Amino acid sequence: MKTISFQFTGAAMLVITALTAHSAGMAGSTLAKAEPPAPAAPAESLRPTKPVPFTPPPADSIPDDDFGKIVKKGEQIFVNTQQNARQFVGNSLNCVNCHIDAGRKANASPLWGAWISYPAYRSKNRHVNTYAERLQGCFRFSMNGKAPPLGDPVLVALETYSYWLATGAPVREKVEGRGYPTVPKPALPADYARGGKVYAQSCALCHGANGQGQTSGGKTVFPPLWGAKSFNWGAGMHDIKNAAGFIKANMPLGLGGTLTDQEAWDVAAFMDSHERPQDPRFKGAVAETRKQYHDSPTSMYGKTVNGHVLGGK
């Protein structure tokens, strides 16, 4: 019998050695029946369970360059909306009236908290909104005006200012002070009469006994809370729950947190039980508009107060 021999090159031997080692390892792992690695934890579980703190950059740190110029423009539009974006405003409010300290203050729906929250689905218009679309809604409802078109310098400046305020803020995580706080429902249902007493004692000094605010030199100092020059029925602040959260955290101005939960709900009910500009989504009938857009126990739209159907003027 002839003996057959093979000559292997060094490279071939390396390949065979590697394959042999691989096979041995595979066999060993099969025999050991090692358990597969545990599946990775869902991304949601890796996020902090408690809201994280955040502080926006100081106002004097706006960069001194072309980008900074637009940031400063957005700040001025935000603080002095009447003077800098009048073409899109239909009442006497400035953005800063509801977003205190130039949009910086926590628990007053700060701009930095809004920037990190979009795109997001909104039940208000039943689709995913971009941040630009969210700003458009502010002009349409809170400012009772018309939405700046996408790409308009006013909208771009406000977006840029919001983006700068959010410098360093975590995205898609719970952040302390974003939006308005939720105030637990009090022991007693919110009441117009009790709210009127709270208003007279704690609010009328700034906003006037008739809720029409105060002006100085033609500029709004304290905003009207109802009536033709206030936000319309489509604005988020028309909802008692939202208004109670804002009031509890921020009002009276500089004394936020001093009203009880009951007082916050009562005075919010009083404020939101007055007439204001029509919801721009009005369908020609108050009942139908309420059914489609205001079907909530904390919305006074379409309800009768003091013999008057709100929204039916």
Parse the chain into domains and list their residue ranges.
Answer: 48-178, 180-313
Q: Which two tokens stand for residue 86?
A: 């009048």
| Three-state secondary structure call for residue 1 | coil
Question: How far is residue 20's CA from residue 34's CA, in Å, rounded to a whole number?
Answer: 20
Fold agreement between 48-178 and 180-313: yes
Looking at per-residue pLDDT, the higher value among 25 and 130 belongs to 130
Averaged pLDDT of the chain: 88
pLDDT for 37: 52
Burial classification of residue 103, based on how many CB atoms lie within 10 Å of its CB (0-12 exposed, 13-18 middle, 19 or more buried):
buried
Query: Does residue 191 have a pLDDT over 70?
Result: yes
Q: Which two tokens stand for residue 56?
A: 């926006």
Split at pLDDT 50, 70, 90, the class of 306 is very high
Split at pLDDT 50, 70, 90, the class of 47 is low
Query: Does residue 23 have a pLDDT over 50?
Result: no
Split at pLDDT 50, 70, 90, the class of 7 is very low
pLDDT tens for each residue of 88-122: 999 999 999 999 999 999 999 999 999 999 999 99
Least confident of 41-50, 167-176, 239-248: 41-50
Q: Do residues 202 and 264 touch, judged by C-beta distance below 8 A?
A: no
pLDDT for 29: 37
pLDDT for 223: 97
Query: Does residue 195 have a pLDDT over 50?
Result: yes
DSSP calls for 232-281:
-TTSGGGBHHHHHHHHHHHTTTT-TT-S-HHHHHHHHHHHTTS--SPPTT
Question: How far is residue 91's CA from residue 211's CA, in Å, rounded to a whole number?
Answer: 14
| Three-state secondary structure call for residue 52 | strand
Q: At the top level of CATH, which class does the domain 48-178 belong to?
A: mainly alpha
- Percent over 70 (pLDDT), the chain: 85
The correct CATH number of 180-313 out of 2.170.260.10, 1.10.1740.10, 1.10.287.1080, 1.10.760.10 is 1.10.760.10
